């Protein structure tokens, strides 16, 4: 009776680990087979390297740009929310709504919006006083922008939420002390408020960073990774490898390498606040 739950739980976490071990063995095996020249995994890794690295690169660029945009916009909105105005509850719910939508729906919605005869082009036309018929999802760099826009729209509310909570937790008296010493609002923000939010900001970046690297649903729906490989991030690259080219083993080892990189990166990012986190947990 006592041990049963432990066993059950162990078995199920095993299922979780199976996939991870699966990749591990693949990568492991490929290292060996490389020498024997049956080269299932590693061999391909080398010949296909440019595409793999490019996918990594795109993933990094999209992630970094998206995160930064989400941070800036989220922070800006959060500071606005510190002031008094009518209907805060309503604005709050409205601003939070993009985050609540399923990724696939988000993908399809923006798919519609980015059509050549869709509202995005219409809007740009209004601003630039010209007819715009950009083929967003069919043009390399435009598709890139479209993907970033979609991701930023979807997840800025998260940053907004976290930043708001961070702003509210900055102690009030040091702010007043700085005011008395003659600091302007801007200076106070820069020298007192932001430094006090360092931990929260890092957490926000890490949390969303972990997810944005794996971004799949929206990109798949918007562009399938195209046109060509223009928006092929690591997730899409692996998907294509596994389910269109059917090079599963190779995909597994490639994925494993991504995991290592991610873990190392996240570790580095968490270093400054490791102490606080361990305390909290």
Residues 149-188 that bind other proteins (CB under 8 A): 153, 157-158, 161-162, 165, 171, 173-185, 187-188
Distance (Å, rounded) from C-alpha 234 to C-alpha 53? Answer: 9
Residue ranges in 32-71 that form contacts with other proteins under rule CB under 8 A = none
For other proteins, which is the closer residue by CB, 45 or 234? 234
Can you say whether the dihedral through the CA atoms of 71, 76, 81, 86 is positive or negative? negative
- Tell which one of 220, 226, 229, 269 touches other proteins (CB under 8 A): 220
Kindly tell me the burial class for residue 46, based on how many C-beta atoms sit within 10 Å of its own C-beta (0-12, 13-18, 19 or more). exposed
Determine if 210 is a binding residue for other proteins (CB under 8 A).
yes
Of residues 121 through 140, those in contact with other proteins by CB under 8 A are 122
Q: Which of residues 83-102 bind other proteins (CB under 8 A)?
A: 83-85, 91, 93-98, 100-102
Q: How many residues bind other proteins (CB under 8 A)?
A: 107
C-alpha to C-alpha distances, 71 to 97, 245, 273, nearest whole angstrom: 17, 37, 18
Site string for other proteins, 230-249 (x = CB under 8 A): ----xx--xx--xx----x-
Q: Which of 31, 64, 72, 277 is the binder for other proteins (CB under 8 A)?
A: 277
- Shortest reach from residue 132's CB to other proteins, in Å: 11
| 3-state helix/strand/coil string of 70-122 | HHHHHHHHHHHCCCCCCCHHHHHHHHHHHHHCCHHHHHHHHHHHCCCCCHHHH
Question: Cβ of residue 223: shortest distance to other proteins, in angstroms?
Answer: 14
Between residues 50 and 195, which has the closer beta carbon with respect to other proteins? 195
Is 262 a binding residue for other proteins by CB under 8 A? The answer is yes
Longest Cα–Cα distance in the chain = 74
Interacting stretch for other proteins, rule CB under 8 A, among 28-36, 41-49, 140-148, 204-212? 204-212
Q: Distances from the Cα of 13 to the Cαs of 7, 8, 20, 166, 207, in angstroms?
A: 10, 9, 11, 34, 23
Q: How far is 38 from 92, CA to CA, in rounded Å?
A: 58
Can you tell me whether residue 242 is helix, strand or coil?
helix
207 lies in the site for other proteins, by CB under 8 A: yes
Which residue of 200, 219, 222, 230 would you call a contact of other proteins, by CB under 8 A? Answer: 200
At its nearest, how many Å lie between other proteins and the CB of residue 28?
Answer: 14
């Amino acid at each position: 009776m006592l041990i049963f739950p432990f066993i059950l739980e162990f078995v199920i976490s095993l299922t979780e680990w199976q996939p991870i071990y699966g990749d591990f063995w693949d990568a492991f095996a490929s290292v060996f087979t490389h020498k024997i020249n049956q080269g299932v995994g590693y061999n391909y890794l080398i010949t296909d390297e440019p595409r793999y690295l490019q996918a990594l690169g795109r993933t990094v660029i999209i992630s970094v740009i998206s995160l930064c945009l989400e941070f800036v916009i989220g922070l800006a909105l959060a500071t606005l929310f510190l002031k008094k105005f009518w209907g805060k509850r309503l604005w709050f719910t409205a601003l939070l709504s993009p985050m609540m939508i399923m990724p696939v729906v988000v993908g399809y919605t923006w798919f519609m919006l980015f059509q050549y005869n869709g509202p995005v082009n219409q809007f740009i036309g209004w601003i630039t006083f010209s007819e715009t018929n950009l083929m967003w999802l069919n043009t390399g760099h435009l598709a890139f922008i479209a993907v970033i826009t979609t991701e930023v729209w979807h997840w800025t509310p998260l940053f907004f939420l976290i930043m708001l909570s961070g702003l509210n937790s900055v102690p009030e008296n040091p702010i007043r002390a700085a005011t008395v010493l003659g600091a302007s609002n801007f200076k106070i923000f820069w020298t007192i408020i932001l430094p006090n939010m360092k931990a929260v900001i890092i957490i926000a970046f890490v949390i969303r960073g972990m997810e944005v690297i794996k971004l799949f649903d929206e990109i798949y729906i918007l562009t399938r990774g195209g046109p060509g490989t223009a928006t092929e991030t690591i997730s899409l690259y692996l998907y294509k490898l596994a389910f269109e080219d059917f090079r599963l083993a190779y995909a597994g080892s490639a994925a494993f390498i991504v995991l290592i990189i991610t873990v190392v990166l996240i570790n580095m990012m968490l270093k400054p606040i490791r102490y606080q986190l361990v305390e909290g947990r």
